[in-house]
Structures are given as structure tokens and as C-alpha cells.
Structure 1
Amino acid sequence: MRVPCAGHGEVRTAPLLQGLWESVRAGREEVLLSPYLPALYGFVTHVLLCAPFLALDALGSVCRRVRSWRITAGSGPPPPLRRWVGCFWRVLYRYLTTVLPATALFHTVRSPAVPELAPSCWQFFVEVFACLLLFDTLFFMWHVCMHRFPWLYRNIHQLHHRHHIPFALAAQDSNSGELLSLLLLALSSAWVLGCHPLSEAFFHLINSWLAVEAHCGYDLPLALHRLLPGLGGAPCHQAHHTLLSVNYAPYFTHWDLLFGTFRAPVKRSHPE
């Protein structure tokens, strides 16, 4: 489908993406331009994506098959509901008191626009993948700094590492400064690359899912790191929470391999 674009001749856009974008835009431009949207979207998607793992943790108390998917042998039962509830209130409090006002200010500085056209399929893929690569790089550098500089670790990152055996919702159970910094890195990645809002929204969705999956505590049969080469996944990130000095990158393994900080997860046999 060809759609004229003023000043750029004709651009090719995908009918499916164009229809999706028009349905998103219809009567909602004020919502899309709201400075509160990034924080709200980040929190809601994080909580919703954690819901399947809450169900797995509940099933783990009665189902041996679910327990067999847990990464660390002898790590004990899945976290009880009270840990989930406590984590939920901590994350919500930090979003309301720090993340929401700060990202609202950042969103205002960005002066976002709502274009009429959706991206082409190729543009959509390239922008999402480029955002993942850029964020992975920025996160890796910031994460290494938080571990290598004692002041940063004690005052910013140590709180997140109280979860020696992480669970899904704990992906954002961090110091307010760390939680804000990571969301700003994600927003900045899309801003620097000039992403279409539809590409940016999908990037944030994938970013949230990968963070949740990395902290879930399960090595699931259909986890993304089993399907796509170059992804670390939950086993690699749990090794980071255990050893602290390895596997700093959030998604991919290339930076850790390049700098000698990659540690392949040890395959353990479960007693059950």
C-alpha cells in the first residue's frame, strides 16, 4: 500500500500496521501525548506481564512439573504471595513518587508528535531491533559502573540484589534512582533513534517482557533464550544475581563475551 507523505514523495507502509496505528490514534491523541503515559505504560505492562509467572509460582506449590522448571536446584519453593504483594507496593510507590514526575518532565522536553502514517514493516523491525541493541549497550555500561564503583553499588544497586533468587515482579524492585535511570535509558534510546511511536511502544513492551523473563526464576521450555541465539535469559541473569560479577547485559551476550564477563549458567539436575 502506498500512501503519499508531504515532502517525501511516496512511502510504503504496511496495511496491517497502518490499520493498527489508525485505531490507536482514533480520538486518543491527547492520551498519546500525555506526559504521564510513559510511566503509566511502563508500570501497567510490567505488572500484566508478571501475571503468568505469579500463576506459575502458585502452581509450583502443587505441581512437580512446574517446580522442575525452576533454575536453581534446592532454592526452595517459589516466593509466597506476601512477597509479591510487598514487591508490588514498593514498585508502585517508587513510580508514583519518582518515576512519574521525572518521566513526565522528560516527555515534555521531548515534544513528541503523533504522525499520521504508520511505519513500514521494515522500518518497524529496524527501529525495534536498533532500540534493543542500543538499550542493551547503555544498560551494560551503567550496570558495570554500578557494580564497579562501591558508592553506586551501596547507594543505588544493592537494593535490587537483595533478591538472591529473583522472581518476575522483582525485575523493577530497585532503588528509585535505579528504576528511574533504566526507564530514562529506554526512553532515550527510542528518542535518539527517532523511532515512530508504534515502534517505541513495541520496544518498551519487549523490553518489559525480557526483564520479567530474566528475573522469573524459571528456565521454561519455550523461553526466548531457548528460541533465539545470543540471548542470555533467566539462567544467565540468575547467575548474575548469584555471582554478582558476571552477565551484566540485560538481553544479549555479546558484550559480556567481548569483555570476559560472560558466565554460562551451570545446568543442574533437580532433585524431583
Structure 2
Amino acid sequence: MLCNVTDIRMTDPIQELGDPHAPILQGLWESVRAGQRHIQLSPYLAASCAFLTHLALCAPFFFLDALGRVCQRVRSWRIAAGSGPPPSLQRWFQCFCRVLFKYTTAVLPAAALLQLLRSPNFPELAPTCWQLFVEVLACFLLFDTLFFIWHYSMHRVPWLYRTVHQMHHQHHVPFALAAQDASSAELLSLLLLALGSAWMLGCHPLSEVLFHFLNSWMAVEDHCGYNLPWALHKLLPCMGGAPYHHAHHKKQNTNFAPYFTHWDFLFGTYCASVQHSE
């Protein structure tokens, strides 16, 4: 009996839940590791979760757009207040169909192939809170840099703009779901940039999941079309937010970075945020 207990302890993670030196996130990580492993290793999990997460994060703005048709207060938060009412239900549905088609035909197969080639691992220990913060922040800084270079190139090379990026700019006044309304080639390139940022930094799986979730949220917020009182860019002046990205959709030759403003400042492509479109 004693031997059995010893064997179990030797095969358990080094840090037990009751250990005061165990990372705070160890309990959460243990529950993830103890889940259905065949589901966690499914090649279709990442793309499916990305699509469903995008829809869930867009849902509040869908209801905000619906409410904006009858509530003046909500309409006053819209950046493009002078360009007509919020997007209609038909426009949302058409955008949903386009995004679903591209995820099904391009993103899902590509993500499945990458997952099979990657062979993800599940380390025994969870990251510390500090490690989680540093890794997620590093992912955002690297992704922001890579996105700026790629986005700038797509606008400066006519062939790239026509074949890859032009479809996204059909939305002169963007809305939340339009964050993923782009060509299949662009969606695949952004997938590679996001996955590559986490892989190059060797992030813990928990850090990677949190980065992808926050990345989806910030992309949705950038395209939402609202300058909300509680928006993240009002708390962190280093971030552009929806008004900053709306200026890019309006003028197209400015504000190429997705979230932060430092690269646009350095390269002279920064434009003051558009508050209202005439």
C-alpha cells in the first residue's frame, strides 16, 4: 500500500494543490490537464474555438447596434455618428455568412494542419501570475510589430492590396463582426502571425490561450464603431482603440498598427483618432 502511494506521488505533478509554493494558477491548469485529452489535442479545436469566441465577443455589440436604433444615448457613442444608423441585421447576417464560409474552407483546414505539425505539450506546472503577464504582454508587442509590417506592406504593394487586403476595406464604417471579414489569404496570414508570436516566445499554453482570447477581443473592439466610455484606450493612452482604427478605414494610409500607437508615431503614419465622420 505504501509503495502504491509512493508511486502515485512520483507520477503526480511536482507542485500539489495544497503546496504553498505552488503557482496560484496550478488548480486551473490541473483541471485543464485532467480534461478530455482527445478533445484538447483535436486539430479542429483551435479554429472552432476562435470562431465561436469571435461570435461571442461580437454579441454585445450586436445588441448595442440594435439598441442604437431606438436609443439616442447609444447612437451618441458611435464614432461615425453622421454616417447613418448602426449596421442592419441583414448586414450582420451577410457578414456572418462570409466569415463562416472562410473559416470552414480555409482557416479550419489550415489550423488543423498546423496543430498536427506542432504536437503541443502540456507541462506539469502552471505559469506564475507574473510569467503569465509578461508572456501575454510580450505576445502583444511582438504581434503588434509583425502586424504593422505586414499591414503596411499590404497597403504599399498594390498587388498585395488587391488580392489580400482590399476585401476588408469594403467596410468604410466598420462594425464588430467585420474584424474577421477579410479574404481567406488575410485570415490565414493573421492566424500565422498570432500563432507565430506565441510560438516564437515559447509561451506556456495558458499564456497562449489568454493572448488569443484578448487578441480576439481587442480586434472586435477596434472594429466595433463605438467610442465607449469604458473602452480600453481611454485607460491606456499607448493604445489607439476604435477611433484610431476607424481613422485607418476612413483614410487607409494611416494607423497601420493594430493596437498600440508607437510604430505609427515612429514611422510618421499616425493620424489623430476620428471621433465623428462627416
Which of 244, 259, 262 matches 2:270?
A: 262
Closer, same or farther: CA 158–235 of 1 in aligned 2, 3 Å? same
Q: Distance in 2 between matches of 1:99 and 1:151?
A: 22
Any stretches of 5+ residues in structure 1 without a counterpart?
Answer: none
| Counterpart selection for 1:175 from 164, 170, 183 | 183
After superposition, the Cα gap between the structure-2 partners of 1:11 and 1:92, relative to the gap in structure 1 and judged at 3 Å, is: farther
> Residue 133 and residue 13 in structure 1: after superposition, are their counterparts in 2 closer, same or farther (change >3 A)?
farther
4+ long deviations beyond 6 Å: none
Give the TM-score taking structure 1 as reference length: 0.93
Q: How far 1:264 sits from its partner (Å)?
A: 1.0
Distance in 2 separating the partners of 1:184 and 1:118: 25
Write the letter of the residue equivalent to 2:155: H
Match of 2:131 in 1: 123
> In structure 2, what is the equivalent of residue 48 of structure 1?
56
The residue aligned with 2:161 is: 153
Cα distance in 2, alignment partners of residues 269 and 194 from structure 1: 42
- Percent identical: 67
Cα 1:29/1:253, change in 2 over 3 Å: same
**Are 1:229 and 2:237 counterparts?**
yes
Deviation at 1:269, TM superposition (A): 9.5
- 1:14 matched residue in structure 2: 23
Instruction: Map 1:179-258; keep pairs closer than 5 Å.
Output: 179-258=187-266
Instruction: Give the counterpart letter for 1:37 in structure 2.
Output: L
Matched residue pairs, number? 263
In structure 2, distance between residues paired with 1:143 and 1:220: 26
Question: Based on CA coordinates, which of the two structures has the bigger radius of gyration?
Answer: 2
Is the aligned partner of 1:109 residue 2:134? no
Q: 1:146 to 1:12 in 2, by over 3 A?
A: farther
Residue 69 of structure 2 corresponds to residue 61 of structure 1: yes
Pairwise CA distance, 1:11: 11
Shift of 1:24: 2.0
CA distance in 2, matches of 1:254, 1:155: 28
Q: Which runs of 5+ in 2 are unaligned?
A: 1-12
Per the normalisation by structure 2, the TM-score is 0.91
Alpha-carbon distance change, 11 to 34 in structure 1, aligned in 2, over 3 angstroms: farther
Change (3 A) 1:108 1:151: same
Does the 8 Å contact 1:213/1:233 carry over to 2? yes
